[in-house]
Structure 1
Amino acid sequence: MSTRFRGQNMMTYRAARNRYDTAVFRRAGRSGLDLPAISLGLWHNFGPGHLFEGQRAILRAAMDLGVTHIDLANNYGPPPGGAEETFGRILATDLRAYRDELVISTKAGYDMWPGPYGCGGSAKHLTASLDASLRRLQLDHVDIFYSHRPDPTVPIEETAGALAQAVRRGKARYVAISNYSPAEATAAAEALAAHGVPLLIHQESYSMFDRHVERPVTEDVAWRGRPGAPDRPARAARSLLETVEDLGVGLVVFSPLAQGLLTDRYLDGGVPAGSRASVGHFLTPGAITADYLARARALHEIAAARGQSLAQLAITWLLRDQRVTSVLVGASSVAQLRGNVEARHAPPLAAEEIAAIEPLAVDTVGAV
């Protein structure tokens, strides 16, 4: 059976009836929103530079697996905007009937167009960027709209006001932040609360090889001196994990596999053609050190003893902490997506397994 859409014949997609039978969801902080424990991020694997049918197959598979949260940003691609445009096409042709089952997020804050309003945390940029994202996505609203990064040149009240305005205009259901320090996250939550809009999520990198969210951070004096920052004594050092718990905010994790270092790809010591290390944008061949290989191979052995891949173990390790609402995974194939999603059903890590992982799970220079 086929249906005609914009002059093209396309097979009608119907999501698997059992898509929620084995799905796992977690509540985002103290909100009423549940997110899948493993979500799909469309960072550098969606856009015109990739095969459209392959991207379409990944999104269909995600829906069939109950992976209902799709994470985007205005600058994802390449080129910037490419991921939103591609997802918008597939949403219109395949997933429109399931829009109310999906949680679609996008972000603004990084470079998108020339001039002073093409990036940052101003109301001008955030508002214009969200409107452009909605056009690319072919939507009238997103479920979650993020401030993608803090902007030390803009009062947090202005950034928070623009996020709150997106909710009031009906263009976002919830608002969130990404890449904020604990002090910045607290200030953003307080500024949003003044508008009667709660902060839903903080999105941050976290993996076995990038554990900065666990470390206490002393409030930056420069942050307290930025425009609009409240004049108050510095607070006690808090980690980001402690901060989101205190604020009742969910934590969505990106780069859970440390740009591929927590996969089987480099275990033989080589750098495969086409891998992120070979391209060198976010990971360089210099990261494949003897120390890295020793730790990765030891983690691989722990994973194998559990019947898991190294990537699956890395995801299971993150989900051990209930403060982690969802882990964002990318996927270049349906098989890769399915393999990562299997981690949601792994047995919890035993105390002795966590103890064995601990000396191996340390920050790696160049991992993220």
Structure 2
Amino acid sequence: MHSPNLSRYDDSPQNVPYRRVGRSGLQLPVISLGLWQNFGEASPLAAQKDLVLRAFDRGVTHFDLANNYGPPPGSAEKSFGEILRTDLRGYRDELVVSTKAGYNMWPGPYGEGGSRKYLLSSLDQSLNRLGLDYVDIFYSHRFDPETPLEETMGALKTAVDSGRALYAGISSYSASRTLEAFEVARGIGLNLLIHQPSYSLLNRWIEEPDASGMSLTDVCAQEELGVIGFSPLAQGLLTSKYLTGQIPAGSRASADGSFKKEYVSEENVAALRVLNEIASARGQSLAQMAISWSLRDEVVTSVVVGARTTEQLDENLDAARSLTFTPEELKAIDAACVDGGLNLWASRSSDL
């Protein structure tokens, strides 16, 4: 069993600070550990343990999952459940464990979407894999145009009312759909806690108004919803490895996955090089500045990062040491940023 760092909550540059989530009593570390990539059967359990325990030792208490994280789907929850059972046994009440349901998980008409049957069945399966009686946050992972929001929000309310989740959230909903979801939730007595959208220097869709006339950040600020951005490093694009414009062997872009080779475009690489110069002048790596920038506005409670090694994790967590920007830096960053075409979830949720 792991013996955590006794100073993990001290006010120290080594430890990650916290922000309150919207109007709630819950606080999250400004940097959370996501288990979307590098968890499951494709990675040794020992390496997964190293990442989770290193994060916990530095004050990271929030671990973000979904039913389909792996590979294969479900295996990330199983791995994390094993770490909870062994190394983190006795520390459950210090942890915030979140999971989601919405994307395809099993065959047939009840294995994806926003129906009551799918969401609650999936939550029960997630709890079984995790070995938990409840998760802290349960998300609707995507907007489902085929299911009334009354049903999806009602399923989230049942999850909370039954004690299977402490809080409810939504992920990748557009500003318009978030307003609709919030109104439905308020009407049935469900307190939506948090929204999890993709957000990075090269993927700023949450700042742009949609048909509602409001941006997602405006909506979340108005309704006092917390925001937790995922993929602040654009799946690794906002790191030093792509500055040459080449795709390194063993990188995510070299694999056949969610990172498309076309993301390493001339336009994106040109932006990376300018951003890297700004980061260097700040005394940060490009990855660190990208994370810090995503947290510059306190409407964003936290960002979810992944890592392959504890060295990468430490670099990412060190971004929390420098969260402020001068007006000149922000102006230079805005001038360098381009829309990198990185919101691969848009057609399945945020554009609906």
> In the alignment, which residue of structure 1 is the partner of 2:4?
15
Contact 1:283 1:367 in 2 (8 A): no
> In the alignment, which residue of structure 2 is the partner of 1:227?
none
Contact 1:72 1:84 in 2 (8 A): yes
Gap change, CA 1:347 and 1:209, over 3 Å in 2: closer
Q: Distance in 2 between the 1:285 and 1:196 partners?
A: 45
User: Residue 291 of structure 1: CA displacement?
Assistant: 2.1
> In the alignment, which residue of structure 2 is the partner of 1:160?
153
Aligned counterpart for 1:190 among listed residues 157, 165, 183: 183
**Counterpart residue identity of residue 19, structure 1:** R
1:293 aligns with 2:286: no
> In the alignment, which residue of structure 1 is the partner of 2:295?
319
Which SS does the other structure have where 2:142 is aligned? Answer: coil
Contact 2:294 2:300 in 1 (8 A): yes
**Counterpart residue identity of residue 260, structure 1:** G
Contact 1:312 1:342 in 2 (8 A): yes
**Counterpart residue identity of residue 301, structure 1:** E
Contact 1:89 1:137 in 2 (8 A): yes
Contact 2:234 2:342 in 1 (8 A): no
For structure 1, the residue ranges without an aligned partner over 5 or more in a row are 1-11, 220-236
**Counterpart residue identity of residue 37, structure 2:** H
> In the alignment, which residue of structure 1 is the partner of 2:81?
88
> In the alignment, which residue of structure 2 is the partner of 1:47?
40
| % identical equivalent positions | 54
1:240 aligns with 2:222: no
TM-score (norm 1): 0.90
User: Residue 174 of structure 1: CA displacement?
Assistant: 0.2
Which protein has the larger Cα radius of gyration, Structure 1 or Structure 2? 1
User: Residue 285 of structure 1: CA displacement?
Assistant: 2.5
Gap change, CA 1:347 and 1:131, over 3 Å in 2: closer
1:112 aligns with 2:105: yes
User: Residue 269 of structure 1: CA displacement?
Assistant: 2.1
1:338 aligns with 2:314: yes
Which SS does the other structure have where 1:100 is aligned? Answer: helix
Contact 1:181 1:240 in 2 (8 A): yes
Which SS does the other structure have where 2:53 is aligned? Answer: helix
Alignment of 1:64-103 (within 5 A): 64-103=57-96
Contact 1:13 1:94 in 2 (8 A): yes
Q: Deviations over 1:216-250 (max 9, x none)?
A: 0004xxxxxxxxxxxxxxxxx11000000111100
**Counterpart residue identity of residue 4, structure 2:** A
> In the alignment, which residue of structure 2 is the partner of 1:272?
248
Gap change, CA 1:66 and 1:290, over 3 Å in 2: same
User: Residue 367 of structure 1: CA displacement?
Assistant: 6.8
> In the alignment, which residue of structure 1 is the partner of 2:349?
none
User: Residue 117 of structure 1: CA displacement?
Assistant: 0.6
> In the alignment, which residue of structure 1 is the partner of 2:198?
205
Which SS does the other structure have where 1:94 is aligned? Answer: coil
CA RMSD of aligned residues (A): 1.1
Which SS does the other structure have where 2:2 is aligned? Answer: coil
Contact 1:104 1:143 in 2 (8 A): yes
> In the alignment, which residue of structure 2 is the partner of 1:7?
none
Gap change, CA 1:347 and 1:166, over 3 Å in 2: closer
Which SS does the other structure have where 1:26 is aligned? Answer: strand
- Matched positions, count: 340
> In the alignment, which residue of structure 1 is the partner of 2:348?
none
Contact 2:116 2:155 in 1 (8 A): yes
User: Residue 195 of structure 1: CA displacement?
Assistant: 2.6
> In the alignment, which residue of structure 2 is the partner of 1:180?
173
